[in-house]
Structures are given as C-alpha cells and as structure tokens.
Amino acid sequence: MIGALADRIDSGASDPADPLTALRPAPGPGPVARAWAVTKTGATVATLPAALPVSTVAALRSQREALRRIRVFPEQLRAICEDRPGPLPVRSVGRLPASGRYVVTSDLHRCIPGRLDWPARQGTKDLYRAVLAGYAEDGWSVIENGDVEDFWMVGGSTWGACYDAGRLAAGFAGPLADSTRRELLGDHLDRIVANNADLYHVLGELARDGRYHRTVGNHDDVLADRALVERLAEHLPGVSAPDAIVLARSGPPRVETTAAVIMHGHLTDAWNGPGLATLGRATTWLATTVDDLPIAAGLDGLPGEPATAALLAGRGENRLISVDARFGGNRRFDSLDEERLFDRLAVTAPESGWPWLVFGHTHFPMLRPLDASGRTVRYANSGCGVLPGAFTALEWDGGREDPLRLVLHHVVDDRPTRSELRPDGDLLAAEPA
C-alpha cells in the first residue's frame, strides 16, 4: 500500500542509465520528502538537549567495546582461518580457493532513484557495469565486500520518505512488526535492483556461474536476516552473505594455509560495528534528513572531483587511520581505528605472519599502507564505488607471486580506463595499465 502510493507520487522517478562521462546534479527530493525532512528536523532540534548527553555516553561505551574487540581480534582472525567460532560476532565464513582470480569491490551504496542514487550522481553506474562485464568475460569472479545495497540512507524521494517512516514505525512496534519490517526491506531491495537492472543482469549471470560472492557490511546489515538473503537470491541465484571470505590454499584450515581474509572491516568500528551501530545509523539518518532540507544542498558527504584527481596525480593517502581513544572518532568522522588494530596484530603475529587482510568500509583505497611508525602493513582496502567518475577495486590473481593489485577505473574519452595505484611511501602512485 505504502509503495503503491509512493509510486503514484513519484511516477517516472527512475532515470535511464548515465553515460560513462556524466556526473549528474542531485535531483530534488520532492515535496513529500522535503516535508518529512522538515518534520524530522523539528523533532531533532526539540530533543537535542537530551540527545547530546545520551550520544556522548553511547560513544564512550561503544569505544570501550571496540577497544575490547581490537584486543581479541587476533584470536578471531585465527578462528576464521581455522574455520571455527571465535570471540567476536562473526556469523559465518565463506571459503574460496586462493588460486582463483577475483576482483574485490566495496562500498557501492546502490540505492533507489532520486537524491540517494549516489552511483548515478557520481557518474559510476554505467562505468561499474561495463567494467564488471569485462572482468566477467575475461573469466574473473567478483566479490562485493559489503555496503552493496544501502538500507541505512533514507529520504531523497517520496519512496525514501515512506521507507523511513515505515522503518521507524516498525522499530517502535518491536518484534510484533518483524514480518512487516521484512516486507518493507524486501520491497526496498527490489526497488534498488530495479534501479540498477542492467548491472544486476551482469551479476545474475555471474551468480548462476558460481562467480559472484559477497560479504555483509554495516549499510546492508539487514542481510544478517536469512529471509532477506533469500529475497536477494531471487535476483542473484545461490547468493549467500557471510561476514568474511577466506582465500584458502590447499591443506587443513590454518593460518599458514590462509592466503587472505576478506571482510567489510566494520567489526571493530566503535560507531558502525555489529551491535555498536546506533551512532552510525543515527548519523546517517540525520545527514540524509538534513540533505533533503530546502537550504541544505551539497551536505551529502559524497567525495568531490578532487578525490579522483588526487588519486590520478599520485596524491592518494596510503596511511592507516587513527581515531580518538575515548570517543572512537576523529575530525573527519572516521570511526575505524586501523592504527590500534594493526598494532595489536603486529604484537600477536604468528611465526608465519598473518594472511592478507582485505577490507572496505573506510572508502579510502590502500595497499601495504604505512602505520604511525613507518612500518608497512600487510593490508589492502578496496576503497569505494562512488568516486566522481571513478571507482577503486582490488584484483587478486592467485596465479601471480604477488597476487594483489589496487586499481582505479575511470573514464578517458568516454571509455573505461584502468590505472594501477602502487604504494609509494605514504602515497599511492597512479600508473596507466
């Protein structure tokens, strides 16, 4: 009922796929979404005096838990390698042969039509589809490493406002509304797929061939519910959504036979980790609310064109992120403490060393980054799929002695172009392929 009404108001909201070179201005959210944003903003301002101290206490508590998770993360990593339960909330782990070829992407934030359609606004929708089709034709498998379909962003269109209102109502109703909540989330998923139909055709063919894999991130954490995975499998046959994927060599499951562990990266995040995501959800909810206000254009948090230009010019940072030890964040609103995590891994490393750790989540591409002491870390981050006119990815080719490559796909003369991003101290040097 809600969806049908939203469709009547928003009829014609779906736009054709963007040309490879197009960065589109954000469309207006429409009168319903604007009115809903004004209502929510008024309620937020009214409750701000009480919300600020509550948020501060929540941040302190979440950071204490994040620091505990960092302390036990080496044991969790060992448990993942050995295919057994560990001390942290990791539900399931997939296993793939390390001898294969995989392109790893993350933080794609596919969404519904309108202001929330970040790939369309950034001009990456057709680029990503074309590049993945090329990888598929060349025999590669695809691993989408979390934050694939976005269930956290709200508003931006009439349906986005209805989805937000329905989700809030179901939350207040608690477990009694579980079936209603699942149906709402399933409807939202179907709309995301419809808005990216050409891409899901490519992904569906890969899935049918056993060459499509994915993990769960924070923005698509609803896939912890098996019913939502089954709904996704209607579009991507046979799909599963583990928390991690191991690239395994032959032999029994051990650290020594594990080539890489691929996870979204939010497990030890104080604001966005499993069971710790209250602040992350609230921040996303508030940011998308403010972005729908008539006076708030440009407050979406999307990277601007200088972000892509910096990577192409060899000025991309290749250094671990650190955050405040008390509140779990920094001035840039990062909330994953990579410095403490990899320092803990360094002092607990087995004699053979840890396998490659492959994350997404931060939106910052990295390959063998430097820590605060200048040491190189065996870590790679695929970056994100919503750079202006570009996206970053990792290539794992198990047939090479050095299997990992960090690449930037962008457009030159309206054609997809691949550049390799090589570590150069604490920067990334772009080299055309």
pLDDT value of residue 28: 83
pLDDT value of residue 18: 45
Distance CA(332)–CA(60), nearest Å, equals 18
Please report, for the chain, the start and end positions of each structural domain, with discontinuous segments joined by +.
Answer: 27-432
pLDDT value of residue 169: 94
pLDDT value of residue 25: 72
Tell me the mean pLDDT per 10 residues along the chain, length 433: 44 45 74 94 90 88 96 98 98 98 98 95 96 98 98 96 96 89 97 98 98 98 97 97 98 97 98 95 93 73 91 95 90 92 97 97 97 94 97 97 97 93 95 78
Q: Which amino acid is at 359?
A: F
pLDDT value of residue 13: 38
Distance CA(173)–CA(180), nearest Å, equals 10
Read off the pTM: 0.93
Is it true that domain 27-432 has CATH number 3.60.21.10?
yes
Q: Can you name the residues that pair with 247 across neighbouring β-strands?
A: 96, 260
The 3-state secondary structure of the chain reads CHHHHHHHHCCCCCCCCCCCCCCCCCCCCCHHHHHHHHHHHHHHHHHHHHHHHHHHHHHHHHHHHHHHHHHHHHHHHHHHHCCCCCCCCCCCEEEEECCCEEEEECCCCECCCCCCCHHHHHCCHHHHHHHHHHHHHCCCEEEEECCCECCCCCCCCHHHHHHHHHHHHHHHHHHHHHHHHHHHHHHHHHHHHHHCHHHHHHHHHHHHCCCEEEECCCCCHHHHCHHHHHHHHCCCCCCCCCCEEEEECCCCCCCCCEEEEEECCCCCCCCCCCCCCHHHHHHHHHHHHHHCCCCCCCCCCCCCHHHHHHHHCCCEECECCCCCCCCCCCCCCCCCCHHHHHHHHHHCCCCCCCCEEEECCCCCCEECCECCCCCECCEEECCCCCECCEEEEEEEECCCCCCEEEEEEEEECCEEEEEEEEEECCEEEEEEC
Q: Copy the structure tokens of residue 45.
A: 């301002």
